Amino acid sequence: SPPLLEIRGLDLDFGTPRGRVHALRNISLNVPAAQVVGIVGESGSGKSTLAYTVMGLLPQNAVVTAGNILFEGRDLLEMPSQTRRNLLGNRLSMIFQDPMTALNPVRTIEGQMIDIQHHEKISRSEKRSLAIQMLHRVGIPDPQSRMGGYPHHFSGGMRQRICIAMALLVKPALLIADEPTTALDATLEVQIIHLLKDLQKEIGCSVLFVSHHLGAVAELCDRVAVMYAGEVVEQGGVRDIFHNPAHPYTRALLECDPGRIRQKTRTLPTIRGEVPNLLGSKEGCIFQPRCPQAFGRCTQDTPIEYRIGVEQAARCHLLNEKGLVSR
């Protein structure tokens, strides 16, 4: 069967007073049904931009210049805007880094959780009891009496649980989570990751999980895409990426300190050099200025994606030298 979400050759620019910022570069990525796909990469690599492009929540100055985003076989970029809006909070839902982005501060949790079920043809009291069940499921104590409260009556961790409950109440096919645990302390983070994993399995939805945190990605994800400067430089099964990385950037991230992944490090290791600015077009490999293995052609030719095994692929000329074929 085709993947639930299929991103093909996606390019995106932001218009700015200084020129166009080429923030997504020829991205191709699949999210299979009932799988969790992680997106990792340094700050500014385009993770949120990719997530927001799929959700259709881009700022005004963003322009998709090429590519397709097929969701359940239909192109999100081509469908009428009303059709697309109807998918949000229905087949597609999102959790944000800051729960207050999603919660209305002046409405009760109960009211918000009933409203979000607007596509369900069921009675209000049934919606209320589904909301209570879901709040209970995400670990809100005594939801029946607490759901009349407002967001500020709950702690940060509880608010994120409420957001997860709201996002999953509609039984989406795809949940997009953009750094959902970054604002929480480490203990809460572990709890929320386990909760997400359990709920994903129960509901059978797919998740696109954006994170800086390699440990959380290793724990939660089936597949991983590594982003650098607007490109997916490597993608593959979670074991391949962590144990057999092919791209020099992925290796640099992991080799900084392999032990730290298992110790559930909360931040990406720092590697030498800086993320390039994304103004204008670039020649050659985007990682070349920082790459310890750069050679002759890396400054002129943009590497295509080479397939390594069945699932793994990376954009690096070294793979061509090894005789691997492009995909």
Residues forming the site for ligand SF4 (CB under 6 A): 248, 285, 287-288, 291, 293-294, 298, 303, 316-318
By beta-carbon proximity to ligand ATP, the closer residue of 230 and 245 is 230
Q: How many CB atoms lie within 10 A of CB 72?
A: 16
Shortest separation between residue 300's beta carbon and ligand SF4, angstroms: 11
CB 24 within 8 A of CB 53: yes
- Name the H helices within 107-225: 109-115, 124-137, 143-146, 156-169, 186-203, 214-220
Which DSSP helix (H) or strand (E) runs through 23? strand 19-31
Task: Decide if residue 21 touches ligand ATP (CB under 6 A).
Answer: yes
Among 30, 38, 49, 195, the residue binding ligand ATP under the rule CB under 6 A is: 49
105 contact partners, CB below 8 Å, separation of at least 6: 150, 151, 152
| Residues 33-52 close enough to bind Mg ion by CB under 5 A | 48
Q: Which one of ligand ATP, ligand SF4, Mg ion, none is in contact with 131 (Cβ closer than 5 to 8 A by kind)?
A: none
Q: How far is CA 214 from CA 16, 224, 321, in A?
A: 32, 10, 29
Site mask, ligand ATP, residues 253-292, x = CB under 6 A? -------------------------x--------------
Task: Decide if residue 65 touches ligand ATP (CB under 6 A).
Answer: no
Task: Decide if residue 221 touches ligand ATP (CB under 6 A).
Answer: no
Task: Give the separation between CA 174 and CA 183, rounded to whole angstroms.
Answer: 23
Shortest separation between residue 88's beta carbon and ligand ATP, angstroms: 19
Which segment (15-23, 130-138, 148-156, 248-256) binds ligand ATP by CB under 6 A? 15-23
